[in-house]
Amino acid sequence: MFRLTAFAGIGFVVTILALIAVVIGNSQSPGARWLNRNAGSLFAVEVGAILVLGYAAMAQDRKQTLRERRESDPIEPKA
């Protein structure tokens, strides 16, 4: 799950670099115009993906840690 979060982060960085390239390069090309029109939505989707995947990765890691702790300590203190 952490790998998916990393890929979403890489996509975010690539989008930022593409927008910088649009500013420096030909802003009248079809790809540049599409990117300028849809940059806000694209950023929103990427940030949302990073947040959701990051939270899911942390939740999965926590569950795995608790499971490993239970399996390694067969006698649990009663609360």
Domain residues of the chain, as ranges? Answer: 2-69
Q: What is the pTM of this model?
A: 0.78
Residue 43: predicted pLDDT: 96
Taking a C-beta distance cutoff of 8 angstroms, is the pair 3, 10 a contact? no
Taking a C-beta distance cutoff of 8 angstroms, is the pair 5, 50 a contact? yes
Tokens of 72: 């390694």
User: What are the pLDDT tens digits along the chain (79 aa)?
Assistant: 899 999 999 999 999 999 999 989 888 989 899 999 999 999 999 999 999 999 999 999 999 999 999 888 776 666 5
Taking a C-beta distance cutoff of 8 angstroms, is the pair 15, 47 a contact? no
